[in-house]
Amino acid sequence: MKQSERKKPYCTDITWEGRADCKHCAIRERVLFSEISNEDLDDVLHTIDHLCYPAHAALYQLGETGKSVFTIRSGLVKLIQYLPNGNQRIVRLLKPGSVAGLELVVGQDYRHTAIALENTKVCRIPMAAIEHLGIDHPQLSRQMALRWQQSVNDAERFITELSTGTAESRVAHLLLLLQSESSKGNCRAISREDMGAMLGITTETASRVMADFKRRGITQDISAHHCQCDATKLHQIISEQ
């Protein structure tokens, strides 16, 4: 059956939207298969699921033996690890074009719990499909390497910018990061709990700093999920620390 002839079956999984359609993907040039032609993808498209996860839903859990990686098509995903005392730390944020679960490529179980921060659309790609395509398409290895390097870059940024310095400078760095990921220049509002878990500060400290930024006109709420940030003032806070 051709891809265009497939119909969505009855399914009780509310996250399932349908099969992947790489040819019409809005971020085709940024995804894992960007250097592979649509014709060459035909053999594996039927194994790839297009899923939509609501905010707070888990893509996978730490320690699970997974069989698929996830390309983020839209939305934002947090990767969580847990400290010995049971507290959680958010170690990375995944944006559109990022791949979650890359550790499966080297035979490991999932090393994080992946949670959608907002309504998030992904393509779930079985490892079998990646292995099949990798045989005849060495450019896939290049894309995998690029994403490994990006994950290293992101981890270093979390260490150098988001986990050191004063609480004010950490929050300023985070707001600039969230603003840079927005096509509209707005800043995605995240919970103070998530902010604390990301920056290594308490929820109360995150709330205090954000309230102070709002009072000083550095941030301004524009909707329930977004705020406007004064990037110049945020950079000034960072330079003064």
* CATH topology for the 12-140 domain: Jelly Rolls (2.60.120)
Q: Is pLDDT at 217 greater than 80 in this prediction? A: yes
Q: What is the pLDDT of residues 80-107, one digit of tens each?
A: 999 888 889 999 999 888 899 999 988 9
Instruction: Count CB neighbours of 49 within 10 A.
Output: 19
Q: Which residue has the higher pLDDT, 17 or 213?
A: 213
Give the chain's mean pLDDT: 82
Predicted confidence at residue 117, as pLDDT, reads 92
Pinpoint the residues of the chain covered by CATH 1.10.10.10.
162-240
Predicted confidence at residue 41, as pLDDT, reads 62
Q: Which residues contact 113 (CB under 8 A, 6 or more apart)?
A: 58, 60, 61, 62, 79, 80, 81, 82
Any idea which of 68-72, 89-93, 147-151 has the lowest mean pLDDT? 147-151
Predicted confidence at residue 3, as pLDDT, reads 38
Q: Assess if CATH 1.10.10.10 describes domain 162-240.
A: yes
Instruction: Count CB neighbours of 182 within 10 A.
Output: 14
Pinpoint the residues of the chain covered by CATH 2.60.120.10.
12-140
Burial class (CB in 10 A: 0-12, 13-18, 19+), 164: middle
Percent of the chain's residues with pLDDT above 70: 78
Strands, DSSP E only, in 95-214? 99-100, 113-116, 120-126, 187-188
How would residue 32 be classed by pLDDT, with cut points 50, 70 and 90?
Answer: low
What angle, 0 to 180 degrees and rounded to 10, lies between the N-to-C axes of helices 38-45 and 127-136? 140
Q: What's the token pair of residue 193? A: 């709990």
Any idea which of 75-89, 102-116, 175-189 has the lowest mean pLDDT? 175-189
Percent of the chain's residues with pLDDT above 90: 45
Burial class (CB in 10 A: 0-12, 13-18, 19+), 73: buried
Q: Is 109 helix (H, G, I), strand (E, B) or coil?
A: coil
Cβ(178)–Cβ(188) below 8 Å: yes
